[in-house]
C-alpha cells in the first residue's frame, strides 16, 4: 500500500468469510464469494452509485482450523479448505487491490488448535517441539489443563493451547509465517488476536512487559520485511492500557472503551460522558488516527440488537463512528442494521444480500447457520436505493470521511454546547479545519457553541459539508476560539452537522 500510515484515511470492513457469500452452493461462505461481492464494497473506477465505499478489509481467520470460527489454527501458511485455496486468497487480494482496497488477515498468535501438528509433537516430546507450548508437572492455577500426568497452559480453553513465545524457535517460525503472507500472499497487514495475552509471568497473565517486548520484536521484524505492513492489535482493555502498545509495539490498537461509549451515547441521547471520554482517549494515543474505532465486532452483540433496531439511534451511532477520530471499522451487516445477540454463532450469521429464499442471497443452499431474525427488507438490495435507509446513511458518511481530512486526520478538541444531548468538536488537520456537531437526542436542538481558545483567526468562511446548510460564521475571539456561536436554527433529532471552517 506504499507508505506506512496508509490506513489512516481508510474505512475498514470486518468480514467473517464463513458468513459473507457462498460461491459454490455448499452453504458455507468462501473466498470466491467475498471476491464476487467486492463490487458492493468498492468499485474499480472510484465513484459508483451502488457501492458502500470502504477501502480496507479485515478477514477473520482464513487458516485451516477444526472450529467454525477459525481462531484455533492448525497451519499458519494454509487456507481453510471450507473457504478455498491459496490461489483463491491471492485472487481476492489482487481484486481488492485493483479497487484500491487493502486486505489484512486475522493472525491468532497466542495459541493454536490442540490439533496443530506442533502441539501433537509437543505433547509427545518429539520433533524438537517439546518446548513449543507451556508445560508444567504441576497445575499452576486458572487456565491449566491436564494431559496425562502433565499440564499445559490454555487461557482460552483446552482446545486452544498457548504457544510458548519465550522460545525463540517459535518466534522465528511465526515471524516467517507472517512474512510469507506479506510476500507471497500479498496481504497488507494483520490484526493480532488476543495481543495482550501473549506471555504470562506467574499470576500476571495480561499486558506483561514480556508481551510488549515480544510484540515490538515481532513488529520490527515484519516491518523490516515490508515497512508498510499494518500491525493492529486486539488489546481488549481500558484505553490507557490499549494505548500503551502504540506506536512502539504495534501500529494501532482497537479502543474498546470508545466503541461501547458510542453505542451508549446513541442509546441515552446524552453526550456529557462521551465528551470527556473522547478528550481522554485522543490524548492517550500518539496521533488522532493512532487507534482503531468501532461500534461492535464479532465478539459483541450486534449494534442493531444493542439499540433494539431504533433507526435514529443506529444512524447517530454511525455518525459518531464515521465523523469521529481513529481508523473506523464496520462489522459486516452493521451497515444494513442486521441484528444478532450471543451465543457467538448468532452474532456471525450469513450476510443478508436480498430477500430471496433459502438464504437471503448468501447461498443457493441452506446456510451453515440460520439467518438473523430480521425482516426480508433488512438487506443490501432492500436498502441500496432506498432513500433514508441505514445503508444509504453509511455510504454517505464513508464518502464524507474519505473526502475530508479534518475527519480522518484532524486533532480532536471538545467544543462546549449548552445542550446536554449535543457532542461537538473542532477537528484541525493540515489542509482542513472542521466543526463537528452531533445531536444525540430525540428532539431538534438549537445549540450555542463555544471554544475557549483555539487555532482560529480572522473572519473565517464556513460551509456545510454534512447536514443543514450553514450561513453564519463564528466570531473568532482573541484566544482563537469563539463564544455563543449558533451555526443553525435547528439540528434535527439524532443527526450531525459538519462545518468546514476556512480562511
Ligand atoms: Ca462455499
Question: Mind giving me the DSSP string for 419-470?
Answer: STTEEEEEEEETTEEEEEEEE-SSS-B---EEESS-S--SS-EEEEEESS--
Compute CA 176 distance to the chain's CA centroid, rounded to the nearest angstrom: 25
What stretches of 303-412 show up as alpha helix (H) in DSSP?
Answer: 303-306, 311-323, 380-384, 390-403, 405-409
What is the pLDDT at residue 175?
98
- Rounded CA gap, 66 and 405, in Å? 43
Question: How many residues appear in the chain?
Answer: 503
User: How far, in Å, from the CA of 15 to the mean position of ligand 1?
Assistant: 15
Q: Residue for cell digits 448468532?
A: 346
Q: Which three cell numbers stand for residue 498?
A: 459538519
Q: Which three cell numbers stand for residue 140?
A: 499452576
Instruction: Return contacts of 197-203, CB within 8 angstroms, 24+ apart.
Output: 197/110, 197/155, 197/162, 198/109, 198/110, 198/165, 199/165, 199/166, 200/134, 200/153, 200/155, 200/162, 203/141
What is the pLDDT at residue 452?
96
Homologous superfamily of 6-110+166-403: Glycosidases (3.20.20.80)
Compute CA 58 distance to the chain's CA centroid, rounded to the nearest angstrom: 8
Residues paired with residue 292 on neighbouring β-strands, in sequence order: 254, 327
489 assigned to active site? no
Q: Hey, what CATH topology would domain 409-502 get?
A: Immunoglobulin-like (2.60.40)
Q: Which three cell numbers stand for residue 424?
A: 461537538
Residues 161-197 have pLDDT tens digits of 999 999 999 999 999 999 999 998 899 999 999 999 9
- Rounded CA gap, 15 and 85, in Å? 18
Tell me what the mean pLDDT of segment 349-357 comes to. 96
Catalytic residue among 200, 234, 237, 432: 234
Torsion of CA 304, 305, 308, 312, to 10 degrees: -20
What number does CATH give the domain 112-162?
Answer: 3.90.400.10
Catalytic residue among 82, 193, 249, 319: 193
Query: Phi/psi of residue 481, each to 5°?
Result: -110, -155
Compute CA 300 distance to the chain's CA centroid, rounded to the nearest angstrom: 12
Instruction: Kindly report whether the peptide bond that precedes residue 75 is cis, defined as omega within 30 degrees of 0.
Output: no
Residues 274-295 have pLDDT tens digits of 999 999 999 999 987 889 999 9
User: How far, in Å, from the CA of 50 to the mean position of ligand 1?
Assistant: 25
User: How far, in Å, from the CA of 167 to the mean position of ligand 1?
Assistant: 38
User: How far, in Å, from the CA of 27 to the mean position of ligand 1?
Assistant: 6
What is the pLDDT at residue 272?
85
The percentage of residues in the chain with a pLDDT greater than 90, rounded to a whole number, is 93
Residues 189-243 have pLDDT tens digits of 999 999 999 999 988 999 999 999 999 999 999 999 999 999 999 999 999 999 9
- Rounded CA gap, 164 and 111, in Å? 9
Classify residue 347 as exposed, middle or buried by CB count within 10 Å of its CB (0-12, 13-18, 19+): buried
- Rounded CA gap, 267 and 494, in Å? 10
- Rounded CA gap, 159 and 67, in Å? 10
User: How far, in Å, from the CA of 111 to the mean position of ligand 1?
Assistant: 27
Classify residue 345 as exposed, middle or buried by CB count within 10 Å of its CB (0-12, 13-18, 19+): middle
- Rounded CA gap, 420 and 269, in Å? 8
What is the pLDDT at residue 46?
66
Where are any strands of DSSP class E within 128-198? 135-136, 144-147, 150-153, 189-193
Tell me what the mean pLDDT of segment 148-168 comes to. 97
Residues 69-120 have pLDDT tens digits of 999 999 999 999 999 999 999 999 999 999 999 999 999 999 999 999 999 9
For residue 20, name the pLDDT band (cuts at 50, 70, 90): very high
Domain ranges of the chain: 6-110+166-403, 112-162, 409-502
| CA atoms within a 13 Å half-sphere pointing along the CA-CB vector of 205 | 14
User: How far, in Å, from the CA of 119 to the mean position of ligand 1?
Assistant: 29
Is-above-0.85 flag for pTM? yes
270 assigned to active site? no
Sheet (strand 102-108) strand order: 252-253, 230-233, 189-193, 102-108, 56-59, 12-15, 327-331, 292-294
DSSP β-ladder status, 56-59 and 102-108: parallel
For residue 47, name the pLDDT band (cuts at 50, 70, 90): low
Amino acid at each position: 500500500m506504499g507508505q506506512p500510515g496508509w490506513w489512516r484515511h481508510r474505512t475498514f470492513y470486518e468480514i467473517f468469510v464463513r458468513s459473507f457469500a457462498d460461491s459454490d452452493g455448499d452453504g458455507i461462505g468462501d473466498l470466491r464469494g467475498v471476491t464476487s461481492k467486492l463490487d458492493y464494497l468498492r468499485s474499480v473506477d472510484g465513484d459508483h452509485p451502488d457501492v458502500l465505499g470502504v477501502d480496507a478489509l479485515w478477514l477473520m481467520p482464513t487458516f485451516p482450523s477444526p472450529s467454525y470460527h477459525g481462531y484455533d489454527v492448525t497451519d499458519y501458511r494454509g487456507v481453510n479448505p471450507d473457504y478455498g485455496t491459496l490461489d483463491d486468497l491471492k485472487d481476492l487480494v489482487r481484486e481488492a487491490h485493483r479497487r484500491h482496497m487493502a486486505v489484512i488477515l486475522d493472525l491468532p498468535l497466542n495459541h493454536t488448535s490442540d490439533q496443530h501438528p506442533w502441539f501433537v509433537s509437543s505433547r509427545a516430546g518429539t520433533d524438537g517441539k517439546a518446548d513449543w507450548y507451556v508445560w508444567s508437572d504441576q497445575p499452576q492455577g486458572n487456565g491449566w489443563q491436564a494431559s496425562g500426568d502433565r499440564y499445559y497452559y490454555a487461557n482460552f480453553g483446552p482446545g486452544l493451547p498457548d504457544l510458548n513465545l519465550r522460545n525463540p524457535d517459535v518466534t522465528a517460525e511465526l515471524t516467517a509465517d507472517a512474512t510469507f503472507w506479506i510476500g507471497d500472499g500479498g496481504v497488507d497487514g494483520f490484526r493480532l488476536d488476543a495481543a495482550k495475552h501473549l506471555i504470562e509471568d506467574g499470576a500476571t497473565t495480561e499486558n506483561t512487559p514480556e508481551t510488549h517486548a515480544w510484540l515490538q520484536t515481532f513488529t520490527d521484524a515484519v516491518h523490516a520485511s515490508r515497512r508498510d505492513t499494518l500491525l493492529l492489535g486486539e488489546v481488549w482493555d481500558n484505553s490507557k492500557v490499549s494505548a500503551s502498545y502504540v506506536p512502539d509495539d504495534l501500529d494501532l490498537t482497537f479502543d474498546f472503551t470508545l466503541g461501547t461509549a458510542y453505542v451508549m451515547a446513541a442509546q441515552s441521547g446524552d453526550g456529557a460522558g462521551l465528551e470527556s471520554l473522547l478528550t481522554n482517549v485522543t490524548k492517550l494515543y500518539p496521533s488522532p488516527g493512532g487507534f482503531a474505532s468501532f461500534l461492535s465486532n464479532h465478539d459483541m452483540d450486534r449494534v442493531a440488537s444493542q439499540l433494539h433496531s431504533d433507526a435514529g439511534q443506529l444512524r447517530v451511532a454511525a455518525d459518531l463512528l464515521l465523523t469521529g477520530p481513529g481508523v473506523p471499522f464496520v462489522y459486516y451487516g452493521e451497515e444494513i442494521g442486521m441484528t444478532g445477540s450471543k451465543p457467538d454463532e448468532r452474532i456471525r450469521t450469513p450476510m443478508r444480500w436480498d430477500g430471496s429464499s433459502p438464504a437471503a442471497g448468501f447461498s443457493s443452499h441452506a446456510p451453515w447457520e440460520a439467518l438473523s431474525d430480521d425482516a426480508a427488507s433488512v438487506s443490501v438490495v432492500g436498502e441500496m436505493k432506498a432513500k433514508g435507509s441505514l445503508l444509504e446513511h453509511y455510504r454517505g458518511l464513508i464518502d464524507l470521511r474519505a473526502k475530508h481530512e479534518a475527519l480522518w486526520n484532524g486533532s480532536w478538541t471538545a467544543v462546549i454546547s449548552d445542550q446536554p444531548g449535543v457532542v461537538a468538536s473542532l477537528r484541525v488537520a493540515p489542509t482542513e479545519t472542521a466543526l463537528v456537531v452531533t445531536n444525540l437526542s430525540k428532539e431538534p436542538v438549537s445549540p450555542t457553541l463555544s471554544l475557549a481558545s483555539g487555532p482560529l483567526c480572522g473572519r473565517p468562511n464556513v460551509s456545510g459539508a454534512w447536514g443543514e446548510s450553514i450561513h453564519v460564521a463564528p466570531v473568532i475571539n482573541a484566544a482563537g476560539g469563539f463564544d455563543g456561536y449558533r451555526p443553525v436554527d435547528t439540528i434535527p433529532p439524532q443527526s450531525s452537522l459538519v462545518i468546514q471552517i476556512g480562511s
